[in-house]
Structure 1
């Protein structure tokens, strides 16, 4: 448990990506089985304990600490695990730390009735750092800046392998990953995934910048060398159908099959398809806001299926049956995809149409005219490109439409997580709306990115000195600071008080110079709804 706690603490205070990779690789190299495998499972979200809930942590902490002190501390710290770890009484003599294997086994096998005493016993054996790590493990709140993708990259570095090799094995493996580590260290052959429906790493596009456009304009082959498609406003997915089952994966390799049973039910073939998941409205793709109603759900109701039916718009084929098509040029894969769809005719799937234009200027007009439609812009792909894992520079470009920007007023702020847990870094902003007592603010979105570290510290100082009310960890601030917010689109949403939802809002600029009264009115946003 001690190496895992030390790893979490170092990851939390290490913002640099390469430094995180080095920490992870060192952990995999020096921590023995099975503890390193259980640590990997915790970091990648592959562990879940039935009876361990944040409410149990709060209950245990309140048994050992004054309730008022706990409430004040939690309000200041903003993180339940950290608050409980710091307030937990220090024993006169710490016992031996449990192995991570012991903790995982106890949490997995213990009954609900046994868990409070089990957890309290471990907490009494640890110092503050160990208690924090244990409680983060129990509640599944390991926000230390490590994604499953980053952990797999560290595994690749540890074993001197390509990340794509590990990606293709990952969904056929189970914690604590002994066969994986044995292979990476040259002690065994690669783990076999058999006929399981495993994820294949996606090929990703790079943003098309001005310099790239200039090079394209000078390309003697012109647009004839490129396949142009719409960039659909959904989420990238991969359908994998194998003898061992059918799965639907997100671009990061997360299994989202349970949220879209109608898509899985339409699969009557064997192969791997690449496309965009959308919601269908009257034979046309709907807005991303409609798709959001279906995302992040473990199961869906019949009403949800009827109101937000799924559609996959296909644009590539990786496997046709057992045949791997990825080495083929895109032009050949497109022909194979068209033949596949003609042969299989899968329900709830169609072919992404190609876009034709005689010049980059014409494509630019199409890109800008896509605003208000279910497209984010254009994709440009070389017709001779093989399907390569990752984001190779040159074969595929994404040419997104320009974002909207609006000046909106900061209303509420909340502390962030991880290394931002001491700063107010999550912001709710609003627009002015006329009311019976004059203009008032109505929330229209939240943002927690787009600013520099220096700007974050300046915002944090401003929020602390302009707080007018507190609601637990949330502060309401004086309506005096304007943030210029960039976002991709606006949609109707009955779930929000304003009736609107923004896609990908982020702080573009802090308008220290602008009076709050000059920020946008709600009717301006309503006129932009697509």
Structure 2
């Protein structure tokens, strides 16, 4: 456990990607099985414990530390695992039975993982307390990170797999291809990487294939790109999904619907699974956008949200919110892996596939005709006139793809670009602030802002959203100082900031969309708000009004 704790600690303070890769590769090379496999599971988000939750940790520390002291400490530190690791009293709890004594002798990462997985709900609090008692401060922090699942050390699953690839000097895509069929502690994977085992087999039946992602395009990028080499499609305001179906080893046809990260969301979309199990779909996997279609028209993202994050779905929900896939790539078709083919060829195969599947819940994402970047810019600015028609309100930009490019897992440079529509922008008044988490725990970095509206007693500011990114490090320091200097009241960890007609800080807020909401006092909710500029030059009385935001909703409706 100490080696894993040291790895997490060094990764948390290593700023460079290459530095993190070196640390990971060294750990995987020098750590034995199954410890390195469980470490890999933790780093890739594949490790979880049914009964070990943050609430349990809060309960344990509440029994040992004054609650006021814990509250103040957590407010300042901003991270539950770090706070508890620092506050946990150094006390040795005597073993009361043979089980306690055996657990006290188990210190490796694999021992701890297996102990937590095998311990029942009733005994788990005492088991975790014993583990925390016998670990040092860094070990306690690593254990708690392991339990809560929020490592927050700047390592993605892709980066961890890239480090694995260095063990065999192979392409990371080779690991991505077999990853869906693996499980912790990944003994066959490490045997292959170490050179004394066969490459794990890849099960193609309803297999998830790591998606290809796009880079955000900037103005300077266009100079190096030729319009003739690229194909453009609409970027739909939905959820990226992958639909796969095939015949399993038992001869039974199976189908799966995956999120972009590989989460199986099939249970929430039985209407789409019915389409996938149809024999006309064949043994295939396609990449597309999950949307809600009513009367042939794509609905807004707020409508789609009614179907998301559900384990089960009612008949009424299926009827009122019919799910649909708008396909834009075909990855696998009847035994053939199409990903190495150029995009133009995959597109032809996709068109034939959609025609063959003939299902009302599946259609083809249309291409955008353009001969120059100016023409594409015009289409991006006015999708309705460029072929999107009644679906224009569900377009959030355009996707640009090389016609000769293969389908590569991850985010390869120069292949796919996303060119989102310009965000909405409003000037709002800062109302409340709260400290952030992790490296921002000492700064007031989470901001609530509001707009003016007419109230019974005159003009008043009503909160419309929260944001915690979009600003630079220097701007964060300026905002933090402003909050401290202009605090008028405190509500636990929240500071109220002066916000009147004559006094207040105006923030330029950018956001992707807005919808009506019964959960917010203002009656509206912004989508993806961020602070784009600090308006030191603008008095608070000149900030925007709530009716401006409501007007945007009216236009979209």
Maintained 8 Å contact 2:92/2:133? no
1:311 aligned residue: 324
Residue 433 (1) aligns with residue 453 (2): yes
Shift of 1:78: 2.9
Q: 1:462 to 1:4 in 2, by over 3 A?
A: farther
Aligned twin of 1:255: 264
SS of corresponding position for 1:118: helix
1:303: how far off?
4.2
Contact 2:76 2:441 in 1 (8 A): no
State the 1:55 CA deviation: 2.0
Distance 1:123 1:503 in 2: 40
Residue 321 of structure 1 corresponds to 334
Shift of 1:252: 3.3
How many angstroms does 1:71 deviate by?
2.6
Give the CA deviation at 1:346: 3.3
* 1:350 aligns to 2:363 (yes or no): yes
**Do residues 274 (structure 1) and 287 (structure 2) align?**
yes
Residue matched to 2:380: 367
How far has the Cα of 1:360 moved from its partner?
Answer: 3.5
Match of 1:389 among 409, 413, 426: 409
C-alpha contact 2:513 2:527 (8 A) present in aligned 1: yes
Q: State the match for 1:170 in structure 2.
A: 179
Deviation at 1:456, TM superposition (A): 2.0
* RMSD of aligned alpha carbons: 2.5
Maintained 8 Å contact 1:259/1:300? yes
Residue 511 (str. 1) matches residue 524 (str. 2): no
Q: Is 2:244 the counterpart of 1:240?
A: yes
Q: 1:212 to 1:48 in 2, by over 3 A?
A: closer
Provide closer, same or farther for how the CA distance between residues 55 and 395 of structure 1 changes in structure 2, counting only shifts above 3 A. closer
| Between 8-17 and 513-522, the greater mean CA deviation after superposition | 8-17
| Partner secondary structure for residue 72 of structure 2 | helix
Q: Determine if contact 1:13/1:419 at 8 Å carries over to the other structure.
A: no
Distance 1:422 1:242 in 2: 52
The separation in 2 between residues aligned to 1:498 and 1:3, in whole angstroms, is: 50
State the partner residue of 2:192.
183
Cα offset, 1:399, TM superposition: 2.8
Counterpart residue number, 2:87: 87
Equivalences for residues 357-506 of structure 1 within 5 A: 357-370=370-383, 373-479=393-499, 480-506=504-530
Are residue 193 (structure 1) and residue 202 (structure 2) matched? yes
CA contact (8 A) 1:278 1:310 kept: yes
Question: Structure 1 residue 168: deviation in Å?
Answer: 1.3
Using the TM superposition, give the Cα deviation of residue 395 of structure 1 relative to its aligned residue in structure 2, in angstroms: 4.2
Q: Where in structure 2 are the equivalents of 1:37-56 lying within 5 Å?
A: 37-56=37-56
- Secondary structure in 2 matching 1:528: helix
Q: Distance in 2 between matches of 1:258 and 1:16?
A: 40
Provide the aligned length of Structure 1 versus Structure 2.
525
SS of structure 1 residue aligned to 2:367: coil
Distance 1:215 1:58 in 2: 54
C-alpha separation in 2, matches of 1:307 and 1:469 = 45
Q: Is the partner of 2:328 in helix, strand or coil? A: strand
Q: Cα gap change, 1:91/1:292 in structure 2, threshold over 3 Å: closer, same or farther?
A: same
Change (3 A) 1:418 1:462: same
d(CA) in 2 for partners of 1:393 and 1:132? 36
Q: CA deviation at 1:521?
A: 0.8
Deviates more, 1:404-413 or 1:114-123: 404-413
Q: CA deviation at 1:524?
A: 0.9
Matched, 1:286 2:299: yes
Shift of 1:435: 1.1
Go from structure 1 to structure 2 and tell me whether the alpha carbon gap of 1:6 and 1:474 turns closer, same or farther (over 3 Å shift).
Answer: farther
Contact 2:435 2:441 in 1 (8 A): yes
1:145/1:418 contact within 8 Å kept: no
Contact 2:215 2:413 in 1 (8 A): yes
Deviation at 1:323, TM superposition (A): 1.1
Residue by residue over 1:92-121, the C-alpha shift from the partner in whole angstroms, topping out at 9 and shown as x without a partner, is 799877211122112111111111111111
In 2, distance between residues paired with 1:470 and 1:133?
33
Counterpart CA distance in 1 for 2:426 and 2:93 is: 58
CA distance in 1, matches of 2:134, 2:319: 53
Q: Deviations over 1:416-475 (max 9, x none)?
A: 333223333222222122211222222222222222222223322332333333344333
Aligned residue in 2 for 1:65: 65
> How far apart, CA to CA, are the structure 2 residues paired with 1:464 and 1:265?
57
Asked if the contact 1:317–1:325 (Cα under 8 Å) also holds between the matched residues in 2, the reply is yes
SS in 2 for 1:266: helix
1:27-176 mapped onto 2 (5 Å cutoff): 27-91=27-91, 98-176=107-185
Work out the CA distance in 2 between the residues paired with 1:159 and 1:453. 39
| TM superposition score normalised by structure 1 | 0.91
In 2: Cα distance, 1:303 partner to 1:82 partner = 45
| Of 38-47 and 201-210, the range deviating more from structure 2 | 201-210
Rounded Cα–Cα distance in structure 1 between residues aligned with 2:463 and 2:20? 36
> Aligned in 2, Cα 1:53/1:261: closer, same or farther, shift over 3 Å?
same
